[in-house]
Amino acid sequence: MAKSILYRATKEQQFTTSIGLVLMVACICYALSAYIGYHVTALLLLVTVSLVAMFFDIAPVLLAAVLSALIWDVFFIPPRFSFAIANPEDALLFALYFVIASVNGALTYKIRQIEKVALKKEEKEHTLKLYNTLLNSLSHELKTPIATIIGSTDNLLTHASKLSEENKKELLSEISKASVRLNRQVENLLNMSRIESGFLELKKDWVDVSELIYDVVSRLKEHTKEHPVGIIIKDNLPLFKLDYGLIETVLHNLIYNAAIYIPRYCVITVRAACVNEKLVIDVEDSGMGFPPQETEKVFDKFYRLKSAQPGGTGLGLSIVRGFVEAHDGTVKLENMPEGGAKFTIEIPAEVSYPASLKNE
């Protein structure tokens, strides 16, 4: 812990701390010079420099080495209070002191460099692992529909005469389904790259949130056949200034996710309200909820639940977070005490109350 704090010390702090430490030790030794000889002082100063070398960069360490050598020479080696050294043995000692202190600093610096390289390597490995996860899920998600399309079209092109009308229709409908799936994944990837690029420009306009919610829910009805969807909108909900397309995607992903992952006949409830000038929408389901240790991670890019079945790229919820954060909003996930999960998004936005326009 201490190490990490010192690591973050600025250059100036490192310099002042090393000078301070050397001066402090020198003062103590000076005060105790009646009891300890100047040889012991040399060792104590050397220990100080070594301690400095353990935590700081090379420059402050070398400064500490030079400073302590000079102090030792001037204040401790006889004759005191002069740079002169009377005894040749002491001169040798002084030279050795300087060399040891400098080598100390240099060695530590080397170790530090090796550490840095190792850290970089570790980071690189982490990125590589993430990249592989991405490649795996992506290639699965993209190749499965492509395989379906290639297989079905081959079949239709080369064996058309052997296929019954019914089988032909089935192959065609498989092709259609696969293309829709492919399209969805490509859209996810495009959305993700919009977020990643940092050029996500919001096109804000007045949005009737109730209309938006009903719109999204009715477009998802194919996927929510087995899940009743309840919509609860607070009365007199104002209009909000939002990017319709992005919030539409956010809601789409949340409801779609719920519909895909919860057991049959579990209920999905969407609520919208205006709390302190913020739009608050939550999507709650009566499914099994999320493993508590994973509720924070689900918004990470490419993160998939440990228990997740194959399929899915782990992009949906990270897009949710990206688009909500683009509106300076927040999204959180919690497990409900009675089971099920609840996603809550809160978006600060300009509001307009329709009542003020009614008299026309």
Q: Which residues bind another protein (CB under 8 A)?
A: 179, 183, 190, 203, 205-208, 210-211, 214-215, 218, 231, 239, 244-245, 248, 352, 354, 357-358, 360
Q: State in angstroms the smallest separation of the CB of 345 from another protein.
A: 18
Q: State in angstroms the smallest separation of the CB of 163 from another protein.
A: 21
Q: What does the angle CA 164 – CA 166 – CA 171 come to, to the nearest 5 degrees?
A: 95
If the CB atoms of residues 13 and 218 are measured against another protein, the closer one turns out to be 218
Beta-carbon contacts of 212 under 8 Å, excluding residues fewer than 6 positions away, are 244, 247, 248, 251
Contact 244, 212 (CB under 8 A): yes
If the CB atoms of residues 74 and 326 are measured against another protein, the closer one turns out to be 326
Query: Residue 31 to residues 26, 48, 297: CA-CA distances in angstroms?
Result: 9, 17, 58
If the CB atoms of residues 245 and 310 are measured against another protein, the closer one turns out to be 245
Whether omega for the bond prior to residue 79 falls within 30 degrees of 0, making it cis, is yes
If the CB atoms of residues 122 and 277 are measured against another protein, the closer one turns out to be 277
Q: State in angstroms the smallest separation of the CB of 205 from another protein.
A: 5
Q: State in angstroms the smallest separation of the CB of 347 from another protein.
A: 17
Return the SS3 of 288: coil
Percent helix, strand, coil in the chain, to 5, is 60, 15, 25
Q: State in angstroms the smallest separation of the CB of 293 from another protein.
A: 37
Q: What is the rounded CA–CA span in Å between residue 137 and residue 315? A: 10
If the CB atoms of residues 3 and 203 are measured against another protein, the closer one turns out to be 203
